[in-house]
Each structure stands twice: as C-alpha cells, then as structure tokens.
Amino acid sequence: MMTTTTAAPRTPLTRTTGILKDTFTSPKYGPVLVTAILFLVVFIGGGLRYRGFFTGQVFLNLFVDNAYLIVLAVGMTFVILTGGIDLSVGAVVALSGMIAASTLQSGWSPVVVIPLILVTTSILGLLVGLMIHYFHVQPFIATLAAMFLARGLCYIISQSSISITDPGFIALAVTRIPLGPGLSITPSVIIAVLVVVIAVWVLHSTRFGRTVYAIGGGEHSGMLMGLPVARTKVLVYLISGLCSGIAGILFTFYTLSGYPLTAIGTELDAIAAVVIGGTLLAGGYGFVLGSVLGVLVLGIIQTIITFEGTLSSWWTKIFIGALLLVFIILQRVLTARRR
C-alpha cells in the first residue's frame, strides 16, 4: 500500500518569513537593507550616548553637510552599475570650484558661471566616455587621466586659494530654508534631493535606465539584444561629469572659495558610499537610494566622531575602510549564493 505525504500549508507567517529571508539573502536588496539597519543602529546608539544627538537638526545636518557627496554618489552609481569606475570626480569638484571662484572674482554673473561649469564638466565626462568605449581604454586608466587633467587645470587657474565675494553667490550659499521650530536646510539639500529623484526616475522608468542595468549584467548580451550599449556607456560618464559639476557648485556654496587641493580623496568617499549602499562593483545591481543611505552612514560616523570630541578625524577613514571591506565581502557571499 502506497502512502502519500502532503506538504504542510504555508501560513501567512511562514510566507512572510520566507519573503524576508529571500530579501536579505538577495544580492539586489540584501546589502541595501543591511545599510539601512546599520544607519538606524548607529543613529540610535549616538542618541543614547550623546545629549542633543536625537534632534531633527542633527539629522537634517547630515543632508546639509553632505549634499555635494550625495550628488557625487548619484553620478558614481550610474557608472558603477555599468561595471565601470570614475576616479576623476574629486578633481572635477575642485575644478568646478576654481572656475567658479576665478570667474566670479573677474566680475562674471553666477547666472553665467553656473551653466559654464556644468557644460565644462559634462564635456569632460563625455570625452572620458568616448575614450572608454571607442578607444577601448580601461575606465580606471581613462578616468585617472581625466583626474590628472582636471587637477592640472586647477593649478593653471591659480596655485592658491581664491575667495568668493560675489553677493549673489554668497546669498545662495548662506540662505536657510525653515522647516519648523529650530529646523532648517539649505538650497543645496533641495538641489541634491531633486538630483536623486531625477536619477531614480531615469534608472527605473526609462529605457536608458534599463540599458544601464543590462550593461552591468552583461555588455555582450546587451549588444545581442539590440540595446544601445555604445550610447549608454558614453552617457553614463557624461552624467557622472554633470553630477561632479553640480557637486562642485554645492561644495563651493559650502566653502565659498576655490582651492586646487580641494576634494582630494573625495572620489574614494563617493565609491565607498555607493558600495556601502549596496551597488555591486561588478555592475548590474544597485539603487540610487542605497547610495544616499551610504552617504548618510558616512555622515553619521563623522557626526559621532565630532560629538565624541576626543577622536581624530582619521577615525572616519578607518571606519569607512572597515565598512567597505565588510560590504565587499557581503556582496561576494550573496552573489556566490545566487549562482
């Protein structure tokens, strides 16, 4: 006599548990959720340890102080999603500041200066993209060359710091937008949020965005599918250049000066934020909002070190390095399980 066994019916609890397990072990969503949880844990820990940490303005200051880095991370996300890298963004931020400071000092209007910066940095990004795709130069080498070019142009403009005294530019820089009693943000935050919203829409609601993910998943497969691989690869570096220009303007709002040595190492902060935010270095997986979370994690670590008062700022780099290593290992484990 044969007996048959039937599987136990799945209850809502088991279904929910299965969904959560699949989500946390997914290379697509797992790292992003880990980043979100990490941010909450660190923020709550800071609030329990330091008086005045649990305030709305401390949270808003994460966006105020890191608005430029959020925009930079958005551009870097596009590049890394295709499996590329952009080492020039820090130098382009410095170049943007030098162009702004020198032209404003010469009497140019901010209405002219800001578009000039965005066009210049976009052209630089376009040239990098053309070099990578049509001349088959490795992204690391092409963007390294662009980094040296941008940094060299900074020194051609001036070898010393240039202060910005233009009243219109200063007014934009010091404006505070009230959000409630004791709460305010700067126009830089509004610009950063707009950039994030546009980037999310482009990546998830347009053919261009779907092609970006497809290139990261397999460039050759994308070509066989008839996707515009060449145009997309060039455009992601143009977008990175444009975001670097915007970030440079926002950073100049923050410093009100231009200096050739500005933003050295900022490209590594942007890459770290993107990776900590869950974007796969090999491309194909990642979210702009994850990169924003990565920036906030870096910002909250810096805030805690500031509240502590006795720690060197170099501890920020140590923590970032440790987190970066952990998230790279996490990505390797999740992608290996997926295969």
Whole-number Cα distances in Å, 188 to 7, 69, 173, 261, 262: 56, 11, 8, 22, 18
Name residues whose C-beta falls within 8 Å of residue 296's C-beta, 6 or more positions apart in sequence.
39, 62, 66
Q: Domain total for the chain?
A: 1
Is residue 14 a part of any domain in this protein?
no
Q: Which residues have C-beta within 8 Å of that of residue 11, sequence separation ≥ 6?
A: none
pLDDT digits (tens, 9 = 90+) for 176-225: 999 988 899 999 999 999 999 999 999 999 999 999 999 887 777 777 78
Q: 164 falls in which pLDDT band (50, 70, 90)?
A: very high
Confidence class of residue 38 from pLDDT cuts 50, 70 and 90? confident
For 69-91, the pLDDT digits (tens) are 999 999 999 999 999 999 999 99
- Of 126, 72, 41, the C-alpha closest to 249 is 72
| CATH classification of the domain holding 39 | 1.10.3470
**What are the tens digits of pLDDT across the range 143-153?**
999 999 999 99
pLDDT at residue number 109: 93
Instruction: Supply the DSSP string of 82-118, one letter for each residue.
Output: TT---S-HHHHHHHHHHHHHHHHHTT--HHHHHHHHH
Per-residue pLDDT averaged across 310-316, rounded?
Answer: 70
Q: Is the pLDDT of residue 335 over 80?
A: no
Which pLDDT score, from 0 to 100, does residue 338 have? 54
Per-residue pLDDT at 19 exceeds 90: no
How many residues are present in the chain? 339
Residues 6+ apart with CB under 8 A from 124: 88, 92, 146, 149, 150, 241
User: Which stretch of DSSP H or E encloses residue 257?
Assistant: strand 257-258
Residue 1: pLDDT band (50, 70, 90) is: very low
Quote the pLDDT of residue 10: 56
Confirm whether 124 is domain-assigned.
Answer: yes
Residue ranges making up the domain that contains 154: 33-338
pLDDT given at position 49: 86
CB 212 within 8 A of CB 227: no
Any domain includes 22: no
Residue 66 lies in a domain: yes
The token pair that represents 334 in the structure block: 């999740």
The answer to whether residue 165 sits within a structural domain is: yes
In a domain, 322, yes or no: yes
Mean predicted confidence (pLDDT) in 95-104:
96
Q: What percent of the chain has pLDDT over 70?
A: 88
Q: What is the pLDDT of residue 26?
A: 56
How does strand 162-163 pair with strand 257-258?
antiparallel
Report if residue 121 sits inside a domain.
yes
Residue 140 falls inside a structural domain: yes
pLDDT in tens, 225-252: 878 888 999 999 999 999 999 999 999 9
Return the number of other C-beta atoms located less than 10 Å from residue 48's C-beta. Answer: 9
Residue 16 above 70 pLDDT?
Answer: no
Report whether pLDDT(5) > 50. Answer: no
